[in-house]
Amino acid sequence: MSLFVARRLAGVAIVAFAVGACSPQSSSAAAPQTDSPAAVAATAQPPTSVQPVGTLNGRMLPDFATLVEQVGPAVVNVSVVEKAHRVARGRDDARDDQVEEFFRRFGLPSPRGGNEDTPQRQGEGSGFIVSGDGYILTNAHVVADADEVTVRMTDRREYSAKVIGVDKRTDVAVIKIEGKDLPVVRLGDPSKLRPGEWVLAIGSPFTFENSVTAGIVSATGRAMPGEDLVPFIQTDVAVNPGNSGGPLLNAAGQVVGVNSQIYSRSGGYMGLSFAIPADVAANVAQQLKTNGKVSHGRLGIGIQGLNQSLAQSFNLPDSNGALVGTVEKDSPADKAGFQPGDVIRKVDNVAVADSTDVTSRIGNMAPGTKVSVEVWREGKPVTLSATIGTFDDTEKVAKANKSAQGQGKLGVAVRPLTQDEKAEIGHDGLVVENATGPAARAGIQPGDVIVSVGSAKVTTLEQLKRQVDKAGDHVALLIERNGQKIFVPVRIG
């Protein structure tokens, strides 16, 4: 059975055995306050601190029961309904409309066999209150297509909620209920999380409201397929459909993440759960609350992670960083002087671990922000200054995708590009006509275009040989295939 990511943890049309655990009860509305998600930590303190209880190998265990008592009231069930919608039909159906009107006038059933409304769709998710006047964080995929949103609290109060904003790129949404002095959570610092640390989730799996599950942090800074803006927190906390949007708490009772995804063969929990870091969610939430939308930053580069072979090819001291494969023309990166073959090592003087680290940091910066980026170029560090641009949905940012790659030492037979080929792809290079030996093992295929060796562009066989001879046992080739550029390490020693 193939592996897939189960994003829609909000559960649609839950099966018969999954029943709600909360009955609705009316409540009075109150004037809104002005708390922001980013200010929660300063304005909402728990009644008491959570105390350890019991021991494991001489270490104290957290008191989960007290933690739930303190934080649980601020965790809510989010129920959504998509109203029935008329099925769209074309102009050619006008004649059929006249026939239907004839049948309707005489009280006869429609020849279409009933109305054309799609059935209502219902879903369940979770959320948590971040300000006393009713702002709630949840997942975008829980409420993005909702016509009605209902929030139920642990004390059985029920509210109609308004969707303030949705950001599908990070899967974060903000909704609002009318309330006063509501219980709130505290936001923690996810950067301090360590693998092996205790964490706890509260949510409504399969509509079982206020369910509590616990586990440990498995890893931090995880990249997920198709995701480049969120460095996910991986845990082994049991998360199922309906947990989406609920909080991930540390042992101090602080929210460190928003439960969002699972990785599964069955669609249900299999020990791999992923949460959006709280700082990422809070930043997005503040923008949604203030502007109703989110502007994500971008530089206009295509990057990929490093492995040992690539690091050796660029004479790097280690494998940390992100390798620049493409630089978009007239992009912020182009204006700042980025070049293919640069390896990003630091952003604002903070070391980066991999490509996910870079994309998440840049993507969550506000457009217009000045950023200092240290790159490794031709064996030494170079500092570049760039102004963050705006991410445009219509632009296709080149994304690194580990794929393929470069007779002689390399094992490639090449020829120069023709004028027509140059015009078609927009640059010069060498076309691979045959690949054997090291190049074939690295994945080079006939039809690939070798653009550069490291950061040195090559347009003739002599240039290619010269750069390969200089490279030593490892060489990094920048190739283009099907419009995508990527660096590929080739071991020739």
> Which tens digit of pLDDT belongs to each residue from 221-265?
888 866 778 999 999 999 998 999 999 999 999 999 999 998 877
pLDDT of residue 120: 62
Contact 445, 416 (CB under 8 A): no
Residue 339: is its pLDDT beyond 50?
yes
**DSSP line for 147-175:** SEEEEE-TTSBEEEEEEEEEETTTTEEEE
**What integer is the mean pLDDT of 335-362?**
91
**Bridge partner residues of 204 (DSSP):** none
Domain 297-390 has CATH 2.30.42.10: yes
CATH fold for the domain made of 412-491: Pdz3 Domain (2.30.42)
Residue 179: is its pLDDT beyond 70?
yes
Contact 398, 328 (CB under 8 A): yes
For residue 300, give both structure tokens: 């206009």
* Beta-carbon count within 10 A of 264 CB: 18
Question: Which helix (H) or strand (E) covers residue 41, if one does?
Answer: helix 40-43
pLDDT of residue 442: 84
pLDDT of residue 408: 60
CATH fold for the domain made of 10-89+97-176: Thrombin, subunit H (2.40.10)
Residue ranges, comma separated, of all CATH 2.30.42.10 domains in the chain are 297-390, 412-491
> Which tens digit of pLDDT belongs to each residue from 27-57?
333 333 444 444 444 444 444 445 555 544 5
Residue 114: is its pLDDT beyond 80?
no
Pairing of strands 158-167, 186-187: unpaired
Residue ranges, comma separated, of all CATH 2.40.10.10 domains in the chain are 10-89+97-176, 188-286
For residue 242, give both structure tokens: 């309906």
Q: In the structure, what pLDDT confidence band is assigned to residue 382 with cuts at 50, 70 and 90?
A: very high
Strands (E) across 178-296 are located at: 186-187, 198-203, 211-222, 232-235, 247-250, 254-264, 273-277
What's the whole-model pTM score?
0.65
Q: In the structure, what pLDDT confidence band is assigned to residue 485 with cuts at 50, 70 and 90?
A: confident
Domain 188-286 has CATH 3.90.1300.10: no
Kindly report the average pLDDT of the chain as a whole number.
78
| Number of helices and strands in the chain (H, E) | 11, 30
Catalytic residues: 141, 171, 244
Half-sphere CA count of 67, side-chain side, radius 13 A: 26
